[in-house]
Amino acid sequence: MPLHERIIPYLETADLYHLDRLISQWLWVNEPLLSAFVERWRPETHTFHMPFGECAITLQDVAYQLGLPIDGEAVSGCLTDFENLMDNRRPTWEWFRELFGELLPPNKVKQMTVHFTWFHERFWDLPADTSEETVRIHARAYIMMLLLSQLFADKNANRVHLRWLPYLALMDDLGRYSWGSAALAWLYRCLCHGTNRNVVNVAGPLQLLQSWIFWRFFSLRPCGFDVFEFPLASRWATYLPTTDAGDQRVVSSRLCLDRLRDRDFLWDPYSAPDVAAIVHPDILVEEHRRLWMAAMSLIYFVAIEWHQVDRVVPQFGGVQHLPQLALNIDWLHAKDGRGGDRWFSSYYQE
């Protein structure tokens, strides 16, 4: 969907304008390289296990790479509310019509989801003389598509779930949410699912993962991308991976990771003067810096994942100590690799 000028103020209010600036130049992902990294992801610690130690994508990386807010309310809600609405004679689809101006044709609906094509067909054009209320309707559709396509895509990538209706109904309040922590929670959850041997494809914000790899692992970085701006993921705007011999490239990526040493990883890439010169000042406020190093839960609806920065202290300029178990092991959310999440504590038992 094209971005119209009259929608930009709504994106700025929602703290999503930096993310939107990446859309027209969003990078392609190197699937063999990402596959090799997924193989080194440990669901028990939410870190990549490398020959030189552990490393991870943190809230700091999300803030720098995507320019998303990491402080605010959790992106969550009770999905049964929609069923209650249907049972109480105020169908969810009436609410949908209030927010988007019309009802959907039956062929665009499947249970509680809407096909992407309906949004593209309905909201592609925005006449210059349209009313402000119509602009708000287009802004709702644009923000929904932006969130679902760039941050929270799942394997059913061509449909939008109606759980977003409460957020779009109060569009002026979208800026109070921690979009960055929600995106990281979803990436963690998708990486954890990806370690299951029965999973073929990995969903989630994979552009964030790839940009993090290129910024941190300079030996894996493509050549010729020396100019960048904020958000930092824009550095790889014109990157195109090769598409030949995919299986062989997975093997090659595995070998590259096997040979990595401590000097091949940039523990603090954001301290460089050229980065400091372009980063948005909101990223550097002290309360955000404290959140970067906070071991806490990240929430995105049913995905609740632990931000285990105590295992990657060198990424913040510190000396790595023995990580402490921050959660009660009786209810620790771990994955056993057998298809789905399990609640168990045997991993931590001596």
Q: What is the pLDDT of residues 122-135, one digit of tens each?
A: 998 898 889 999 99
The mean of the pLDDT values for the chain is: 84
Confidence band, pLDDT 50/70/90 cuts, at residue 306: very high
Mean pLDDT confidence for 263-276: 93
Q: If residue 251 lies in a helix (H) or strand (E), which one and from where to where?
A: helix 246-258
Q: Report if residue 30 sits inside a domain.
A: yes
pLDDT (mean) for 240-251: 78
The SS3 call for residue 303 is strand
Whether residue 324 is predicted with pLDDT greater than 80 in this model: the reply is no
Q: What domain range is 307 assigned to?
A: 5-344
Tell me whether residue 275 is in a domain. yes
With cut-offs at 50, 70 and 90, classify the pLDDT of residue 246. Answer: low
Write the Ramachandran bin of 193: left for phi over 0, alpha for psi from -120 to 50, otherwise beta: alpha
349 part of a folded domain: no
Q: How far apart are CA 243 and CA 30, in angstroms?
A: 9
- Sorted by sequence, the CB contacts under 8 Å of residue 240 that are 6+ apart come out as 28
94-108, 169-183, 248-262: range with lowest mean pLDDT? 94-108
Whether 76 maps to a domain, the answer reads: yes
CA distance 61 to 209: 10
**Is pLDDT above 90 for 42?**
yes
Q: Report which DSSP code applies to 241.
A: -
Q: What per-residue confidence (pLDDT) applies to 92?
A: 76
Q: What are 145-157's pLDDT values in tens digits?
A: 999 888 998 876 6
For every residue of 88-147, DSSP letters joined together read: TT--HHHHHHHHHSSPPPGGGEETTEEEHHHHHHHHS---TT--HHHHHHHHHHHHHHHH
Please identify which residue in the block is written with the tokens 């006449």. 127
Angle between helices 132-150 and 92-100 (to 10 degrees): 120
Instruction: Compute the distance between CA of residue 185 and CA of residue 100 in angstroms, rounded to an integer.
Output: 29
Those residues with Cβ within 8 angstroms of residue 350's Cβ, 6 or more apart along the chain or in another chain: none
pLDDT at 75: 94
User: In this predicted structure, which of 66-70, 94-98, 185-189, 252-256 has the lowest mean pLDDT?
Assistant: 94-98
* Cis, bond preceding 231 (omega within 30 deg of 0): yes
Structure tokens at 48: 């990549």
Residue 350 lies in a domain: no
d(CA 245, CA 197): 22
Q: Does residue 15 come out as left (phi exceeding 0), alpha (psi in the -120 to 50 range) or beta? A: left
**Residue 32 carries which side chain, given as an amino acid letter?**
P
For position 107, what pLDDT does the model report? 79
**Within-domain flag for 135:** yes
Distance of CA 170 to the CA centre of its chain: 22
Query: Does residue 251 carry a pLDDT above 50?
Result: yes
Question: Helix H segments across the chain?
Answer: 8-13, 17-20, 31-39, 59-66, 80-87, 92-100, 116-123, 132-150, 165-169, 179-194, 206-216, 246-258, 273-276, 286-292
**Residue 228 covered by a domain:** yes
Higher-confidence residue of 325 and 221: namely 221
Confidence category of residue 341, pLDDT binned at 50, 70, 90: very low
Q: Are 316 and 60 in contact (CB under 8 A)?
A: yes
With contact defined as beta carbons under 8 Å apart, do 295 and 77 qualify? Answer: no
When divided into structural domains, the chain yields a total of: 1
Evaluate whether residue 49 is within a structural domain.
yes
Tens-digit pLDDT profile for residues 171-220: 999 999 999 999 999 999 999 999 988 887 888 999 999 999 999 999 99
* Residue, of 42 and 237, whose pLDDT is higher: 42
R_g (Cα) of the chain, nearest Å: 21
* Amino acid 127: pLDDT: 87
What's the rounded Cα separation, in Å, for the pair 119 and 191? 29
Is the confidence at residue 85, as pLDDT, over 70? no
